[in-house]
Amino acid sequence: MPELPEVEVVRRGLVSWVRGRTITSVDVLDPRSLRRHALGPEDFAGNLEGARVLDVVRRGKFLWMPLADTPAPSGGRVLSGQQVPDAEPVPAVALMAHLGMSGQLLMQDPGVPDEKHLKVRLRLSPAEGMPEQLRFVDQRIFGGLFLTSLVPTDDGGPGGLAETPLPLIAEEASHIARDPLDPWFSFDAFYRRLRARKTGLKRALLDQGLVSGIGNIYADEALWKAQLHFARPTDTLRRADAQRVLDAAREVMTDALTAGGTSFDSLYVNVNGASGYFDRSLNAYGREGRECKRCAAAGRVSLLKREQFMNRSSYTCPVCQPRPRNGRW
């Protein structure tokens, strides 16, 4: 499953290739990849053809492209002797890309043979030095493309990370909270709601309605870094603890983004479920039975433990992330 940093890598890569270009035609090679578009492939293609991609926006792991159905504004016009740029139209619809387990968005030239698992092809208006096609490739078909409405955001802030932020969000993503990399993320609101939740800390970190974009890997990494146990009751969490774990989540995701940065200018806007580029820097996740690096640095030997958690695994150091006991802190 791609995590937030991988989706952000896709966003940054994709935006430089597609922003401002018009979708000229659509080939649906496998309608299963459009099953989230209730009105079917013809409606999907009919709405996309002629639409211009205004931006690529991300909140949590949701990624969408606001669309305009009018041509690009001209250079502007002269009004009372002053040059006034034409305003971009306010988009009402967005193309949503759900990457699922194995979805990839690839920019390709027309001469490149179709990928084995190519599902949808969008042809884009010509642009100097840029590939013509945006291809959606998905081996396991858990992902897909669909059109969604844009609705105003709850707090009036931008819908998510974007090049030209608008106070609009894809309806599909409107139920999720802002993610830790979003400059509009409010720690105060997060902390207030976290305390009220009366649940375990990791469960709260994975709750997309509280904070979005933290998956299982980053939750374990953030908890390790903040030296907090996953079962720590949120209503006992001090402000400083909450700040520490959130900062840790932001740091591990930013590190992964930096490590993935080399793929930004690649022709392939690529995302793989278990991308390897940040594996080397993991401190907790997947390290069962291996030495805790922090304990080792302090001259102690402690082996990381794996425990079952919400049908998944949690990795913790029993020494520097002790399990809560007797409700005492």
Residues of this chain that interact with Zn ion (CB under 5 A) are 292, 294-295, 302, 317, 319-320
3 assigned to active site: yes
Q: Given the residues 2, 66, 131, 180, select the one marked as catalytic.
A: 2
Nearer to Zn ion, 87 or 297 (CB): 297
Q: C-beta of 253: minimal distance to Zn ion in Å?
A: 22
119 assigned to active site: no
Nearer to Zn ion, 246 or 292 (CB): 292
User: What are 309-316's contacts with CB under 8 Å, separation 24+?
Assistant: 309/202, 309/230, 310/203, 310/206, 312/216, 313/216, 313/288, 314/202, 314/220, 314/230, 315/220, 315/224, 315/284, 315/285, 315/286, 315/287, 315/288, 316/220, 316/223, 316/224, 316/229, 316/230, 316/284
Q: Given the residues 21, 52, 59, 61, select the one marked as catalytic.
A: 61
Q: What is the token pair recorded at 238? A: 């001090």
- Write out 275-327 in H/E/C secondary structure: CCCCHHHCCCCCCCCCECHHHHHCCCCCECEEEEECCEEEEECCCCCCCCECC
Nearer to Zn ion, 172 or 251 (CB): 251
Do residues 105 and 271 make contact, with C-beta atoms less than 8 angstroms apart? yes
61 assigned to active site: yes
Nearer to Zn ion, 62 or 224 (CB): 224
Q: C-beta of 150: minimal distance to Zn ion in Å?
A: 46
193 assigned to active site: no
Q: Given the residues 35, 312, 322, 323, select the one marked as catalytic.
A: 312
Q: C-beta of 317: minimal distance to Zn ion in Å?
A: 3
Q: C-beta of 116: minimal distance to Zn ion in Å?
A: 44
Q: Which residues are catalytic?
A: 2-3, 61, 312
